Amino acid sequence: MQISRSLFDEVMVPNYAPSAIIPVKGEGSRIWDQQGREFVDFAGGIAVNCLGHCHPVLVNALTEQANKLWHLSNTMTNEPALMLAKALVDNTFAEKVYFANSGAESNEAALKLVRRVALNNYGPHKSQIIAFKQAFHGRTLFTVSVGGQAAYSDGFGPKPGDIDHAEYNNLDSVKALISDNTCAVVLEPLQGEGGIISPTPEFIQGVRELCDKHNALLVFDEVQTGVGRTGELYAYMGLGVVPDVLTTAKALGGGFPIGAMLTTTEIAKHLVVGTHGSTYGGNPLACAVGLAAFNTVNTSAVLDGVKEREQWFREGINAINDKYKVFSEVRGKGLLLGAVLNADYAGKAREFMLAAADEGLLVLMAGANVVRMAPSLVIPKEDVSQGLARFERAVAKVVAAAKAV
């Protein structure tokens, strides 16, 4: 059977518009397509492949578990799930863990939990959720409504109610919305889809204080920032603020689907038996791989290495910009970085992404004005150098095309 991009259009629901590239093999920070063409991967499966492709530690964990036990459902627990939960509890603020299959499911659990806590402790009036414009929390109807992007949530009928959106890094806009009827404030400790926006210390600390004042829970969506992405195990650890609930996914499985919600014993007690669940949540295969990924990343060598690699990227992008003058700044932290296009190239992030692919480099977008990079946390310097050289050629092509118009 001939497998080609056209087969996608024939058999798949058209909610995606994938590249013509069909990868068939990956190793480290490089992939190869059906024709054997090599690409340097600065996309990381959208911040998922924290150890690159086919890391031997993850392959071994998956292979070993695949020969033991695949699935039980939640009528029973299993050793990999308990071991991963223990590792998460031992290394974070959390005391209790709930496993899901994705970031969206982890956020769905968090949102249901904060509503349940408020209902049980204060009554039905305390149901308001405050989130932020340009946020992204997943694609379920609840999570997409909490995410502050109407383009993703409109067109599906009535949305879950009592959700309001403030402006990120604008504490006054939070103050204008929050009250004793607020059950939770939900935010990313570094906005990803919204443009790679880092929070100011004053903003993040102020939100924590407002939550405390109004008996509201603070939920950190660390689906994209978690498991080493910012150079901390979790981003909250570098902000001086501890959330009440934290969600994690993406890098948690190093490429194998898994998500988790972390919280305290006092909060977790409100999800009694029967209130929430997931058939695949805590799957032995996923948790075995997740534990291997978590333990590999949670070392000073890897976490310090992320900070070192951030500088390689910043220096390389700035050097390119010195020649071509296309970026206004480089945003982000660790290996979640966004090169922001200046006014002359506003709205052209997709052109840069496509030009990079033509040069053998995979990058991402974070809105129309930001080229996003989220590579492996252990990407070798040689791959960074080669990838940036390819990126420079892509930038040169876009600039030349713009000048020719």
Of 151, 226, 233, 143, the C-alpha closest to 192 is 226
Residues 147, 87, 215: CA angle, nearest 5 degrees? 45
On whether both 132 and 38 belong to a single domain, the answer is: no
On whether both 171 and 239 belong to a single domain, the answer is: yes
- Residue 127 and residue 119 in contact, taking contact as beta carbons nearer than 8 Å: yes
CATH number at residue 308: 3.90.1150.10
173-178 own/partner pairs: CB under 8 Å, 24+ apart: 174/130, 174/206, 174/207, 174/210, 175/210, 177/128, 177/130, 178/130, 178/210, 178/211, 178/214, 178/216
pLDDT of residue 194: 85
Annotated binding site: 103-104, 136, 139, 221-224, 278-279
Annotated binding site for N(2)-acetyl-L-ornithine: 139, 278
- Residue 185 and residue 174 in contact, taking contact as beta carbons nearer than 8 Å: yes
Cα-Cα-Cα-Cα dihedral sign, residues 350, 352, 357, 362: negative
Going by their DSSP bridges, the two strands 245-248 and 217-221 should be labelled as parallel
Residues 257, 35, 289: CA angle, nearest 5 degrees? 20
* Domain residue limits at 383: 5-54+300-404
Annotated binding site for pyridoxal 5'-phosphate: 103-104, 136, 221-224, 279
Written as six digits, the tokens of 394 are 């892509």
Written as six digits, the tokens of 352 are 């840069």
pLDDT of residue 405: 75
Instruction: Select from 273, 297, 321 the last residue of a domain.
Output: 297
CATH number at residue 182: 3.40.640.10
DSSP state of 342: -
* Radius of gyration, CA atoms only, the chain: 21
Domain count across the chain: 2
Q: Give me the half-sphere count of Cα atoms (radius 13 Å) on the Cβ side of residue 49.
A: 22
Instruction: Select from 297, 321, 342 the last residue of a domain.
Output: 297
On whether both 271 and 399 belong to a single domain, the answer is: no
Helix (H, G, I), strand (E, B) or coil at 191: strand
335-359 burial: b if 16+ Cβ within 10 Å, else e: bbbbbbbeeebeebbebbbebbbeb
23-28 own/partner pairs: CB under 8 Å, 24+ apart: 26/52, 26/53, 26/54, 27/52, 27/53, 27/54, 28/52, 28/53, 28/54, 28/55, 28/376, 28/379, 28/380, 28/383
On whether both 221 and 314 belong to a single domain, the answer is: no
On whether both 50 and 136 belong to a single domain, the answer is: no
DSSP state of 27: E
- Residue 97 and residue 260 in contact, taking contact as beta carbons nearer than 8 Å: yes
CA dist 90 and 53 (Å) reads 27
- Residue 201 and residue 226 in contact, taking contact as beta carbons nearer than 8 Å: no
Instruction: Select from 252, 275, 297 the last residue of a domain.
Output: 297
- Give the tens place of pLDDT for each residue, 22-78: 999 999 999 999 999 999 999 999 999 999 999 999 999 999 999 999 999 899 999
pLDDT band at residue 334 using 50, 70 and 90 as cut-offs: very high
Mean pLDDT, residues 262-267? 98
pLDDT of residue 1: 80
On whether both 116 and 253 belong to a single domain, the answer is: yes
Using the predicted structure, report yes or no on whether residue 2 has a pLDDT greater than 80: yes
In this prediction the pTM is: 0.95
On whether both 29 and 67 belong to a single domain, the answer is: no
On whether both 63 and 50 belong to a single domain, the answer is: no
Mean pLDDT, residues 160-167? 96
On whether both 73 and 182 belong to a single domain, the answer is: yes
- Give the tens place of pLDDT for each residue, 352-376: 999 999 999 999 999 999 999 999 9
On whether both 49 and 91 belong to a single domain, the answer is: no
On whether both 43 and 171 belong to a single domain, the answer is: no
Distance of CA 34 to the CA centre of its chain: 28
Identity at 369, one-letter amino acid code:
N
Of 150, 153, 146, the C-alpha closest to 129 is 146
Q: 32 — alpha (psi -120 to 50), left (phi > 0) or beta?
A: beta
On whether both 198 and 309 belong to a single domain, the answer is: no
pLDDT band at residue 290 using 50, 70 and 90 as cut-offs: very high
pLDDT of residue 404: 86
